[in-house]
Amino acid sequence: MNQPAISELSEKNPFSYESLLSTRATLTPSAVCWAATSQLYVGCVEGYLLVVDIENLSVSVLFNPAADDAILELKNFYFQALTLSSNGLIAVGKEGVVHCLQIRRTQTSITQTWQLDRPVSAAMVSPDNGTLLLSANTGQIYLLNPGNSDQIEKVLDVLSGSFLTAALLHTDKNICVSLREGGVLELWSSNGSSLGSLPLQTEVTSLACCPIAHYAAVGTASGKVLFIDLNSETQLRLVHEVYLYHSAVAHLVFDQEGHYLLCSGSDLHLYVLDARPSTMFSVIGFIDVPDCVLSLSTQCLSSSEKVNVLVLCASQEDEKNDGSLLMVFSLPLKNIAGPDCVDRNGCLYIVEVFRYIVPIPLTSCALGVNEVFAYCHRQKTLQRFQLPKGTGGLSSQQVVQLNLKEEVKGHLLGPVSLLLSPDCMWLASIGRDGSLRIRSTSSVEDYCELWCHSCCLGGIRTVSFSQDGQTLVTTGFKDGSLLCINFRAVDAYDKKGKRFSQYRQAMSMETAFNSENPILITLPEWDQETPVSCKKTEETEVSSATSIDVTEQDESYLPIASSPTWFESRQEEIVKEDNKQYTETKKNLRETIKELRETIQKMLRENESLPEEQFNLNVEEQKRLDTMVEQEAERVRAEIEQEIIEKCYLRDVMKRERWDSMMIKPRTIRAFHSEMAVKNYPLKERTEKELEEIRRVHNMRKIEKAACKLRDLKKNSSEQEEEQDEEGHEAENTALNGSISAQLGYTSPCIYNQFSLQTVEQRINQIILFQDLIYSIKMAFNSDFEALLKRKLQELKRLQDRNKNIREVMQKLNVKQTLWEPSLTDNEWPERVLIVDDSEIKAEKYLTPEQREQEERERLEKESRLTAQSDDSRERALDDMMEGVLEVKKIDILKVEIPPPEFVVTKADIQWSEEEKKTYKEYEKNVKDLNEEKEKYKRGLEIEIKKLQESIKDATEKFDESLTKLFEKKLTSTLAIYQEELKITYLADSVHTVDEMNNQEQDLKLKLEQLLANKMKTEKDLMRYEDEVEQFQYLYENVVADDKLLDNEFRKGFADQPKHVTDQLYKLFKRRPRVQRLRAQTEHASNLFKQHGPNSFQAPDGLSQMLTAMAEMDAPENMPKGLSPFIWEKFCVVRKAKVESEHRMKMKALNLAEMQAFLHRRSDEDNACLEEIELHFEALQSLRSKRNQHLMNTTVQVVLPQGQVETSTADWTAETAETDFIVLHKSVIDNLKDNIRRLAEQNIASMEARREVRKDIIQLEWEHRVMNKKIEDLNDKKKDMKMLRLSKEDMKCLGKKDQNAYMLEKIIMLEKSIAFMKQTHKRSIHQRMKKLKRINKKMAKIEQSTADFEKELPYLQVTVSELRHIYEAADTEENEAKEREERYQEIIHRRDLADLARAQSEELDILWNEVERLERRNFPSLDQMKYN
């Protein structure tokens, strides 16, 4: 209660609250319930129990935990729930304690106490106040009967809460280990069934499964790491725990081979634990990190015998969930726990520690092979970083900037987590958008996306890979679902090359599992009271001493000072050791320092006297290092050679499967002057089995045809008719064959007619023949393809020769021009892809010294050979003899130049003599002739170039025309192949349908046999039951006859008595006492038809009650007056016999009725069985007829020209989908159209004639109708005038003598009211104008906001559509179910409204009729007024 509430109550009640609540300023109510006196019991968090009087508004304290006489059990009690029962007030505490409180006035006492195994959140009492129901938030429900027993019964134990995380156990069964938020660890099978569970009774944070033993490590919020044995699926055990942090454990990660377990929390220590059960999961040490760890990833390299660890740390500049500092270090696989690697405090000495920084902070990362995959939430991108190789000279404190290598788009909603598969081939990413993306590490751009969980419920929380990387398991944030995904890679590398890289790792892990898992099974279950052996290691002692019982923890548990962490325990041990050694060290410290000083001085003096050679480098150490380097190089070289061998093996396998197995390789021919390309049909060589099957079918068809010919020879009369039919229908053969293969010349005489396929064997043989026909079509086309390909090769060779000539001519003309030189592409020459040229290799080739020497010798030999060829004396002698004009006599004419005379250069024109002038004229003439000859030669060369180019163009164009024809042939061949394949599809579907019908027939036969056997059994039982019913009915008739005999013999027995006495006795004989009637006891069906003999009957309780009542009636007091006691006793005996007979008859009648009802039910069951047999028999007959009809009505493929088929334009609904059509000739359709057109013209002419006549008839009818309507209107006006109703004002107006004055007065009043209405209207208009201005201002603001919203609308629409797509993809089934339910409720609501409206309309009609009746009765008409 707060202070204002207390002060308000204190004003009405003088009770002082400050005196009672002096220890607490305020109270916090936590539980409330009603008392039997309409009061409220209120329990508080502080332990107070109050009672509130609602009527007087007063509060009384029933229990004060601060009082001196307070109950000890309730002093620290937390009231979780209160409820009132017949035994007292039930109070439930947060610690799982339940008290039954007895309240007497202001005194409170505990009468009963129960202890539960977990905290309870709610309590409720049954309506009869006898049973108490308790429920816990973790899914448990308990029943308690406080009055009868103290035993608590657990009614329901359902695991509840969302999944916190899940991981796949490293077994062949794909067992999943999940962890719920309530602290429950569960095992799931691959089919989704729960195998076992273990409640940890603590708040958990993380989970990891060991790959070398069947156990799981669980991190808790209290800083502990729990180790759970999972070998027994039905009995999970806690075998060990380690206390590491005072805060929650954030990350738990095993390396891929299970050597180490890495653990991180909120402090700056990253612990490394030995994952082997043989070492009792000892803590090896810790590594200091600069800030809190955001992500943790490992990479185990068995070849290098070390484990690489990647840590993403946050820095001071980063936000809460982002980090830009990456820390990479390596852990050796051996000798890590020794004193050389771990100091006294437990800190690990790690030599290789590298620090990297990224430009933009990251949220998650994963370590690959020499690369890092990370996710940036700010940019919503997935990034790849390459780790630098040359990091040998870096110090541990030096930070290197990582450059981004690749970046792709990420998830829609973040933050996003990354996980790398154990084989480092696949990268999985999850986000809050609910999608799981799986990428190949070789190419992160392409990914496979799965929508696993709804983004509305938080998306995906965690993801885990199996050991083989082919199974994933995901958990959602709030949807409480666990999803298992089977992922199969289809590339060849995943199938074949993967076993080379994982064989060694699998063998080592199997060896470790065989040695470690038996040790895990033998470990005892962990207990706080387990004695600690003095012979254990130091780590085991510390971990066992610091562990506590998990079951005793709750949500508010905090480690106390008596439970130190591993680091604190290590510090305490160091302090103890130092304290033990401190005394001796203090005594000997000065002496030791003095001895050391003297020793150092002595060493210095000795070093001065020694020679300098003693201080040189150690040669042996240098040799050892060189040897080690050579060994490492040999190892790397062996790895590279192994990788090359693997790739060669993979290439050979792919080549053998995809290339060598093909009889006809896939090729393409491309045109020279267009983009047209024609491909051939790749074919594999047919197996011997296929050829044998084809030969078998051909032989069978030959035999069938021979038999048909012999049968046709006997029918001589029908042969001529068949020949005439064949001549008349030659044009229709192509259409009826169902394909154009016959037109192309590809046909087989063995192929069946489409209309003669009546059996399944014929259809299977037809499929084989069609496949053989398709093969022959492809082979025929491939032969033409090969011929054209050879022609192209010849054309290319000719083109190269002509280009060579053109190039020589262009060289003579000194013309530089690029020539068109086509070549074969890779599709035309696919063998070239399988051959690697030296020019394609970009990397430098590595050569050994021997190879370099060999290459140098070959180069020198080649140079000497070329030098010898260039120095050919024979050719030089021939050239000298012919003066160099052997081949350039006519080719060098363009280079020939006539030198001018010498005097042209030495003398001027005036100084020339006549002879020199003549010589100069001859020189000019010769030059002119030479130039003319050069021009003539040039023109000849140009003409030659044009001819060569035209010949190239003509040849290539002709080839393109041939390729076009081949392309057309390819189209027709493909069409024919598709038509044959369509036939094969129809036939295969028909065969499959017949097989299904045969299977259905076998099932029906089996069911029919079972029903017939059951029918025979029921018939036998029914006959036996009928006999038993007849026997029992005979017994019942005897009992009825005996009863009637007793009734008839009564008067004979008392015939000697007077008549009135006899009548009175007969009335008493018929009288029966009133006793409680017993219900008929129905016996079991198996007991109805037992033998009921007369001696086997026993009177039930009803007979005994009747006899007891009859004994009271037989008392002498009830004897009639005047009757002797002897007669009365005789009468009582007879009446008793009569009562027993009646009771016996009733019991027999009840048994007979039950037996007859049972017999009737068995008869009905027999009839139902007979009907079911008839139904099955009818179904079997129907199935056989359907199968026969299916075999007779074969699907026929018909080829018809385009535009020659006409069908109905009606909708193709389910009713018309199987309508039969008739194929007719086009001439029949044309004649039918002409007849329709002629009849339509005649019909139109007759219709026009009828229209004119009908127009006049309609006009007369319209005029007649108008006159009738006028008559009806006049009659209605007449009735209205007769039934005119007059108001009081009308009566008053009629009663006035001066009508004008009355009308004038009325006009004045109306004018006043009109003036007042105008004034009011003006005022309202003024107000409306003001309101309109305000609305306009508001509209302007709304328009402005609408414009802003329209700008944002496209982005919002994109977001909404994405979310709708995500929601619809995740919750399609739930939405459909919800929509169906809403539509169903809407239909029901509409139906109810329609019924209600119909009922109300009927009621209104009745009321209106009643109103009209009353009005006619109350208001007089004009005729009545006039009469009166």
Q: What is the pLDDT of residues 617-647, one digit of tens each?
A: 677 888 888 899 999 999 998 999 899 899 8
pTM: 0.41
Segment holding 911, helix H or strand E: none
Q: How confident is the model at residue 1214 (pLDDT cuts 50, 70, 90)?
A: very low
pLDDT in tens, 544-560: 333 333 333 333 333 34
Strands (E) located in 169-318:
176-180, 184-188, 194-199, 204-209, 215-220, 224-229, 237-243, 249-254, 260-265, 269-274, 283-288, 293-301, 306-313
* CB contact set of 547 (below 8 Å; sequence gap of 6+): 224, 240, 241, 242, 243, 526, 528
Q: Which pLDDT value is given to residue 239? A: 92
Asked if 464 and 168 touch (Cβ cutoff 8 Å), the reply is yes
Max Cα-Cα span within the chain: 210
Identify the pLDDT of residue 1371.
Answer: 62
Q: How far apart are CA 192 and CA 583, in angstroms?
A: 65
Q: What SS3 state is found at 446?
A: strand
pLDDT at position 351, please? 62
Q: What does the H/E/C string look like for 806-861?
A: HHHHHHHCCCCCCCCCCCCCCCCCHHHHHCCCHHHCCCCCCCCHHHHHHHHHHHHH
pLDDT computed for residue 532 by the predictor:
33
Instruction: With beta carbons less than 8 A apart as the criterion, state whether 741 and 747 touch.
Output: yes
pLDDT at 395: 52
pLDDT category of residue 954 using cuts at 50, 70 and 90: very high
The token pair at 593 is 């320092």
Structure tokens given for 352:
């290789």
Measure the CA–CA gap between 1033 and 1030, rounded to whole angstroms: 5
What pLDDT digit, counting tens, does each position of 482-533 carry? Answer: 888 887 664 434 444 455 456 667 777 888 888 888 898 898 988 754 333 3
- pLDDT value of position 882: 53
Q: Dig out the tokens for 2 from the structure.
A: 């707060």
CA 252 to CA 271: how far, in whole Å?
Answer: 10
Tens digit of each residue's pLDDT (9 = 90 or more) over 1349-1390: 888 888 888 888 888 777 766 666 666 778 888 888 888 888
586-595, 1229-1238, 1269-1278: which range is least confident on average?
A: 586-595
* 1-5, 667-671, 1141-1145, 1325-1329, range with the lowest pLDDT: 1-5
Strand partners, 429: 418, 437
State the Cα–Cα distance between residues 1047 and 1070, nearest whole angstrom: 9
Residues sharing a CB contact under 8 Å with residue 1094, sequence separation 6 or more, in sequence order:
none
What confidence score (pLDDT) does residue 545 get? 33
Q: Counting Cβ atoms within 10 Å, is residue 1105 exposed (0-12), middle (13-18) or buried (19+)?
A: middle
The vertex-247 CA angle with 243 and 248, nearest 5°, equals 85
The mean of the pLDDT values for the chain is 79
Q: Decide: residue 49, CB within 10 A, 0-12 exposed, 13-18 middle, 19+ buried.
A: buried
pLDDT tens string 959-986? 999 999 999 999 999 998 998 899 899 8
Count of CB atoms situated within 10 Å of the CB of 343: 12
Q: Which of 810, 815, 832 shows the shortest CA–CA distance to 823?
A: 832
Say which residue the tokens 């030791």 belong to.
592
Residue 698 class from Cβ within 10 Å (0-12 exposed, 13-18 middle, 19+ buried)?
middle
Nearest-angstrom CA–CA distance, 224 and 228: 13
1204 or 525, which is more confident: 525
Q: Select from 1004, 1111, 992, 1127 the least CA-distant residue to 1057.
A: 1127
Count of Cβ atoms closer than 10 Å to residue 208 Cβ: 23
Beta bridge partners of 124: 133
What are the tokens at 1005?
A: 């036969």
pLDDT of residue 447: 86
Report whether pLDDT(885) > 90: no
For residue range 49-70, list pLDDT tens digits in order: 888 888 888 888 888 888 877 8
- 389 pLDDT exceeds 80? no
Q: Beta strand 399-401 with 353-362: parallel, antiparallel or unpaired?
A: parallel
Average pLDDT over residues 435-451: 87
- Residue type for 217, please? A
The residues near 952 (Cβ < 8 Å, ≥ 6 apart) are 799, 802, 803, 820
Q: Which of 680, 873, 871 is nearest to 780 (CA)?
A: 680
Q: Identify the CA nearest to 295 among candidates 325, 271, 267.
A: 325
Distance, CA of 372 to CA of 1050 (rounded, Å):
114
